Amino acid sequence: MTLVSTTALLDAQRAVLAFNVVQLEHGEAILRGAELAGRGVILQVSENAAKYHGGLAPIGLASLELAREAGTATAVHLDHAEDEALVEEAVRLGFTSVMFDAATLPDEENRERTAAVARAAQAQGVWVEAELGAIGGKGGAHTPGVRTDPGEAAAFVAGTGVDGLAVAVGSSHAMTSRSATLDFGLIRELAAAVPVPLVLHGSSGVSDEDLVRAVDAGMRKINISTHINGVFTRAVRERLDADPSLVDPRKYLGPARDAVAAEVARLLTLVA
C-alpha cells in the first residue's frame, strides 16, 4: 500500500481516522499503528504545525514520504488552513486533501472564498473539507452547546461544492478529558441531509463508546490530535522521570512513539 487519495480511502472504509502530525515521530507512530490494525489512515498537518516548522514543506514533504512508504493505504491532509496560499502550496506538494477554514469570516465571505478554493483544488484532484461559518467558527462551532443546522449545512455544501463538511454536534477542540456529549440524533439528521462525508472535529474529547456510536450514526472522517499528544507526552514524562540522567532524545521519544502506535492501532480497531 502507499499514498492514496482521500476520496479512495473514504470510499474504501466505513469511517477513516485522521491523526495530526506535529513532528516526524508522530507520523511514524500513526503509520505503525495503522499497519498493526491493517487499516487505512489519514496523516494531517495543520496550519499551526506548519508554522511551528517554519513552513509547510518540511513537515508536509516528510508526511508525504512516510505515506508513500507505508504498509497500509495512507492519505495526507492539510488541516484548518485559513490562508488560501497555504492551501495552494499543499496542493502543489501533493497533499491528497485540504481543509479550508474560513468559518470565522462573515457567512457570505466564507461561502465565496470556500467555493473558490474548492474549485481550484478539485481541478487538481484534491478533496476539500470546510466548515459552516454561520455556526460560529473554529472557536465556537465545536464548543459544547453549539450545533449545526441540517438545512444550513446542506445549503452550504450545495453553494460551495465542498467534498466534506466539519459539523458541530457536541465535541470541542483541544479537550484533554474524553467527556464530550455528542448529539447522535443530530448526526443522523445531518447524514441524511448532507450529501458529502461528515467530519467530526474535537474527537479527542469523545469516549471509545461514543466514537463507535458517532460512526454508526453517520460520521465518516474522525479527527484526533490532542488525545495522541497526551499519550506521547505521558510516555516521555514517564521515561524521563524513571531516568533523569537521559540526554539522548531517542531514548524517550522512541518509547513515546511506541505508545502512540499502540493507541492508534487500538482506536482504528474500534471503528473497523
pLDDT digits (tens, 9 = 90+) for 210-269: 899 999 999 999 999 999 999 999 999 999 999 999 999 999 999 999 999 999 999 999
Say which residue the cell 471509545 belongs to.
Answer: 208
pLDDT computed for residue 186 by the predictor: 92
| Cα first-last separation, the chain | 18
163 annotated active-site: no
Say which residue the cell 455556526 belongs to.
Answer: 135
Backbone phi and psi for residue 99, each to the nearest 5 degrees, phi listed first: -115, 120
Task: Give alpha helix (H) positions in 125-198.
Answer: 150-160, 184-193
pLDDT computed for residue 179 by the predictor: 47
Percent of the chain at pLDDT > 90 equals 78
- Note the pLDDT tens digit of each residue in 7-17: 999 999 999 99
Query: Of residues 148 and 243, which shows the higher confidence score?
Result: 243
Catalytic entry in 11, 79, 107, 183: 79
Name the residue type at position 22: V
pLDDT computed for residue 136 by the predictor: 36
Cell of 252: 524517550
Note whether 202 and 173 are within 8 A (CB): yes
pLDDT computed for residue 44 by the predictor: 98
6-270, CATH topology level: TIM Barrel (3.20.20)
CA dist 153 and 267 (Å) reads 28
Share the mean pLDDT of the chain.
91
DSSP secondary structure letter of residue 194 = -
| Residue 80 DSSP SS3 | strand
CA dist 21 and 43 (Å) reads 6
What residues contact 188, with CB distance under 8 A and at least 6 apart?
217, 218
User: What is the rounded (10 degree) CA torsion for 189, 267, 86, 103?
Assistant: 30
- Note the pLDDT tens digit of each residue in 61-109: 999 999 999 999 999 999 999 999 999 999 999 999 999 999 888 888 9
The beta-strand segments (E) located in the chain are 16-20, 41-46, 74-81, 97-100, 127-131, 164-167, 198-200, 219-224
Q: How far is CA 105 from CA 55, 109, 184, 187, in A?
A: 24, 6, 28, 25
pLDDT computed for residue 182 by the predictor: 79
Interval 136-146 mean pLDDT:
50
By C-alpha distance, which of 94, 92, 80 is closest to 50? 80
pLDDT computed for residue 180 by the predictor: 61
**Global confidence as pTM:** 0.93
User: Domain map of the chain by residue range?
Assistant: 6-270
Angle (nearest 5°) at CA 169 between 113 and 204: 95
